[in-house]
Amino acid sequence: MAEDVTHVVQQMYHALTKKDLDWFSERLDRNPDAVHIGAGYTESLSSDAMVQDLERFFGDMSMNLRPGKMTVDQRGDVAWVVDTAVVGFDDGSELTFRATLVFVTHDGVWKLAHSHLSLPEEASADAARKVLAKDGDSSLAGDVSCA
């Protein structure tokens, strides 16, 4: 029997908060058709590229990710999650985003096969621009728009 999907999402948020790239290395579906879409227009990544991007993104950043209004549904070996989550940063700023996550189960273990993030509020877009430009990489900072 597969794990509870809600618990897996909570583990994923904890892994993001703790910068646990091993969790992602183990829990991303390695299907070559798996795709992860970020809030910027140019952010469309394979699972392998997502792990590399997370490593670059984490850097020295400290954050706390918490679920918002989460809904989970499952049909056999496929589950999907819709959440409005909040990332809190050390400086007190917050980034609210929407996440759609699709998981597939392999031998009873849920693997993240698809993710799509978007920013529902202008305040969130401003915060995202700040985060994306934090390390001087402004190439994505202009791509952020409200969904």
Local confidence pLDDT in tens for the 147 residues of the chain: 457 999 999 999 999 888 898 998 899 898 888 888 877 667 787 887 888 777 776 676 778 888 989 999 999 999 999 999 888 888 888 888 889 999 999 998 999 999 998 876 555 556 656 656 654 444 444 444 443
Residue whose C-alpha is closest to residue 97's, from 73, 74, 69: 69
Residue 39 CA: distances (Å) to CA of 15, 32, 143, 145 = 20, 21, 8, 8
Q: Is the pTM of this model over 0.85?
A: no
**Residue 66 neighbours by CB under 8 Å, 6+ apart:** 13, 85, 86, 88
Tell me which of 3.40.50.300, 3.10.450.50, 3.40.50.1000, 3.40.50.150 is the CATH number of domain 5-132. Answer: 3.10.450.50
